[in-house]
Amino acid sequence: MELDIVRFLENKTILVTGATGFLAKVFVEKILRIQPNVKKMFLHIRATDKQSAIRRLHEELLQKKLFDVLREKWAENFNSIVEKLSPIPGDVSCENLGVHNFDLRSEMWKEIDIIVNSAATTKFDERYDIALAVNAFGAKHVAEFAVRCANIKMLLHISTAYVFGNMTGIIQEKTFHMGEMLNGSGVSVHNTS
């Protein structure tokens, strides 16, 4: 199965939202390590301009210890791997993910094969309007952006807050169906009107 995933990622263009977040950093590093033949990774970073996005890419991803294995593995070719990363300034709480440059948006819509939505605010005391804009409307904006991508093959939405409830031990990945809960029971909805 892992080999199939590695093959699937070859020559693909991937958009990662929330690219400076904890899980996204690990995802980006892992993809570059196991599939250096990924075509391109657009890294959507909350920033006001390209220079700020580039600075955050270097400070919050590439300079981190997490990328040491990749630096070591690719040594003199590390820069050619890093060149596949294209930092994109924006904000998922905005339409078109806050990507204001029309030519860039058009390029993204034409090239993107996979979108990994990892953008979120994880502050549990965040203002309600901000949490709603990023975590709910942000997911909606990502889905709307994906619909415009001519070659989209996958949209993966990542949510990390309390996804396993109070389960312990090894937790197998599985698909949940509407109404199914982690403990296997369902939720019944009664109309009281």
pLDDT digits (tens, 9 = 90+) for 109-154: 999 999 999 999 888 788 989 989 998 999 999 999 999 999 999 9
Please state which of the four CATH numbers 2.40.340.10, 3.30.499.10, 3.90.180.10, 3.40.50.720 is assigned to the domain occupying 2-157: 3.40.50.720
Digit-coded pLDDT (tens) for 165-183: 566 777 666 666 666 666 6
pTM more than 0.85: no
Q: How big is the chain, counted in residues? A: 193
- Nearest alpha carbon to residue 39 among 76, 85, 4, 74: 85
pLDDT at 187: 46
Distance in Å from the first CA to the final CA of the chain:
49
Largest CA distance in the chain: 68
Angle between helices 2-9 and 22-34 (to 10 degrees): 90
Q: How many CB atoms lie within 10 A of CB 35?
A: 17
